[in-house]
Structure 1
Amino acid sequence: MRRPLVSALLLLAACQRAPETAQRAQARPADGAALRPVLVELFTSQGCSSCPPADAFLDRLQHEPNIVAISRHVTWWDRLGWRDTLARQEDTERQRAYAARHGDEAYTPQAVVQGRVLLIGGREGAVHRAIDEYRAAAGAGPSVRLERGALVLDGAVAGPAEIRLVALRSRVRVAIGGGENVGRTYDYVNVVVAETPLGTWRGGRLRLPLAPGRLRTPGADRHAVIVQEPGAGQVLAAGFL
């Protein structure tokens, strides 16, 4: 939550959402494979009354070509009447690290695009513009994929990058029992369950074998990989496995 001004902006964004989504669908290239994957992290909370429109937007966004859309539930709303059943302290710390790096503040809903741009998570048009601007400026860049039981990274990077395996629940329905959203039921998509560091990459071609158990995280039914500069830096590559 970011005070009344943010609430007003979110309401305006909700009113504009339908036409923006339609225009986006018409303008989208037919071949999604030509688009560079972009990571969109939504920092959200079940106790935040401004978050449901952003959560619903992330659900739509995940169906767009080469968008790696994930939900990160934060803990700092837990003291305000409802303990988020999906919140992780690690996600709270990650949000604070982003805010500190960019000289911004941590709030909900907050979207972070490719580790580079922080903005209000419910502002659909602004998020899409950030995605498009990144793709227009970034070029081909490094790639990450799963190939015959191994994670394959390929490309050039300026410095060492962290590789993390992210375990996700693809969809969770939660009935809210307290706080600002009491009595309501919401769906959350691609919710982070756990993250595992896989090592450091310095560019070139890297083949990293994954033991069979790596992709069988308890409570998760989907996985993604994030390759990122240290210290909540820029995301260099990301993808679902």
Structure 2
Amino acid sequence: MRNIKIAVLLSLVFVTVFALGTTSHKAGKSAVPFKVIELFTSEGCSSCPAADEVVKKISQEFQGKDVFILAYHVDYWDKLGWKDPFSSSAYSAIQYRYGEQFNLSSIYTPQLVINGSVQFVGSDERRLRNELGKQISTAKLPNLTIDEVILDKKIAKVVFSVTNANQNDEIRISLIQKSATSIVIKGENKGRILSHVQVVRDQQSTTVGNLVKSVSLVLPKEFDPNKFELIGFIQEQGTGKIIGATRKNF
């Protein structure tokens, strides 16, 4: 009888240890080591080229890794002498939304936002590297996949799928020009040749719960499949935190 009790006890211990080990393994799998870097910049801002250079350096160093860079050119500098050819009021609206999220008294350029969770001056390379060194972990593992891209004249239809995300979480998919150069002839950067990386040329958003799992992006006249890519991410409703990201080449 004593041997039976010992056997049962050992069995319970084994089951418990196995369960803990399994749970631990799953917890490890749920770690999501990615970083989404959103830069708000403008060719009309004299402080912005320094931030563009920092982001360019990071882009080169982390190429092929789970670091997703999006450079939004805002339009509120356009009225001060130079119209940024990559600017859009839609990108300014995204920055204003972050301003509300972070309770900022005003918006500014250059600005960096990391994973929708922290913001700081875009030229602060030390701070950026510090943020890149941090690990993030989440109990859930949202997954966004770009399944298909259909090119039709001036439109790219992007078909995607998403799992383990809440119905009201936002899906944002962007058309990214990997590099660009401008000769600025007016404004604060007059006479400068400016280079950019990961320029957002169009972005569309929807919610996880939307039955239509596709968005259509407008292709610029200089579109070249080899010089563009797609970046998509999931943004948590309420907190604004980015909880999943993906990319796809054409």
TM-aligned CA deviation for residue 148 of structure 1:
6.2
- Over residues 153-190 of structure 1, what are the superposed CA-to-partner deviations in whole Å (9 max), with x where a residue is unaligned? 23354x62111221121111100111111101011111
The residue that corresponds to 1:81 in the other structure is 81
| Residue 218 of structure 1, aligned match among 209, 217, 220 | 220
Q: How many Å separate the matches in 2 of 1:79 and 1:53?
A: 21
**Alignment gaps of 5+ in structure 1:** 1-33
Q: How many Å separate the matches in 1 of 2:33 and 2:43?
A: 31
Q: How many Å separate the matches in 1 of 2:43 and 2:127?
A: 23
- Aligned ranges 1:192-231 → 2 under 5 Å: 192-197=200-205, 199-201=206-208, 208=213, 214=216, 217-219=219-221, 220=223, 221-230=228-237
Q: How many Å separate the matches in 2 of 1:239 and 1:167?
A: 12
The residue that corresponds to 2:170 in the other structure is 162
1:148–1:88 distance in 2 versus 1, CA, 3 Å:
closer
The secondary structure found in structure 1 opposite 2:188 is helix
- Over residues 177-206 of structure 1, what are the superposed CA-to-partner deviations in whole Å (9 max), with x where a residue is unaligned? 111111010111111111123x4226xxx9
**Matched AA of 1:235:** I
1:177–1:230 distance in 2 versus 1, CA, 3 Å:
farther
Q: When the two structures are aligned, how many residues end up with a matched partner?
A: 199
1:141–1:131 distance in 2 versus 1, CA, 3 Å:
farther
The answer (yes or no) to whether the contact 1:37–1:239 under 8 Å persists in 2 is no
Percent of matched pairs sharing the same residue: 28
TM-aligned CA deviation for residue 223 of structure 1:
1.3
1:56–1:35 distance in 2 versus 1, CA, 3 Å:
farther
**Alignment gaps of 5+ in structure 2:** 1-30, 150-158
TM-score (norm 1): 0.73
Q: How many Å separate the matches in 1 of 2:165 and 2:40?
A: 30
TM-score (norm 2): 0.70
The secondary structure found in structure 2 opposite 1:181 is coil
Q: How many Å separate the matches in 2 of 1:156 and 1:229?
A: 8
The answer (yes or no) to whether the contact 1:115–1:235 under 8 Å persists in 2 is yes
